[in-house]
Structure 1
């Protein structure tokens, strides 16, 4: 098993997006990149800790590779907006790839260069690449959030459309395309 750490707005969205992929064993919502030990949600939301909401993805590279995870990542968030995703605004919502080794860094840099070359987005990509610092799991109530709160307004208005996009664009990667909400 290998791990990837990605930040692209609210971790609830990314957790829901990656949880249903073939080869993904576990997705944990959490915080990365700040200067405070053991941050909590309230402190991270204040913007004072420097942490970003991220997901740590544990995956089987024989089933789904890192480059494919990055394709999904760039499809489910807007990598051209600095410190914001939709109505979620603040440094904790940055688009960032925390690479765990040189291969991940090179793969991420190559993916970004290819997306720019192909002009996939109208604006420049602002996704940061940085070595992975310590990952802090978020509080228990943030884990598996979408599955437990699918009827909540935020889930319906923000997460569900992202999952629909994944079903359309990446159905071949889904464990169970019919069950993905």
Structure 2
């Protein structure tokens, strides 16, 4: 019980980290979500789809992150990295597993809402609302833009020098395309 009360009574992080743009965080999450959705959509049975979703999510968001210096596929594509807010370095596997276990359940609810709930708009809104709450909390945090699961496990998403800069490249391609259309 002592551990629970220590977790719930949080003091602020020891230092302020550079803020990752919230749009990049959203895009990185959506890329990871779409990749895992694609893998789990290959399975037709709902219970088996949940198991495949959680396994693929763990592989992409825990195994890959520990292997590739804090970056999953989405975070690499958008130059982001996850760090431990207290130590300033990559979180250990147990912290990442707990963190991603919590967010994977919320992401799977969003998947169910998007995949099966389109005829009923109310069910889509109900199943996606935990993701929206996470987003609103991250936007509302002025210091580190931590969502609920980030605060609970003391993790921070920060900009990285490693990555593909997909959003910048897409913006350049669109600008180039617009220039060519004007000519």
Of Structure 1 and Structure 2, the greater strand share is in 1
TM-score by length of 1: 0.29
Of Structure 1 and Structure 2, the greater helix share is in 2
Larger Rg: 2
TM-score by length of 2: 0.29
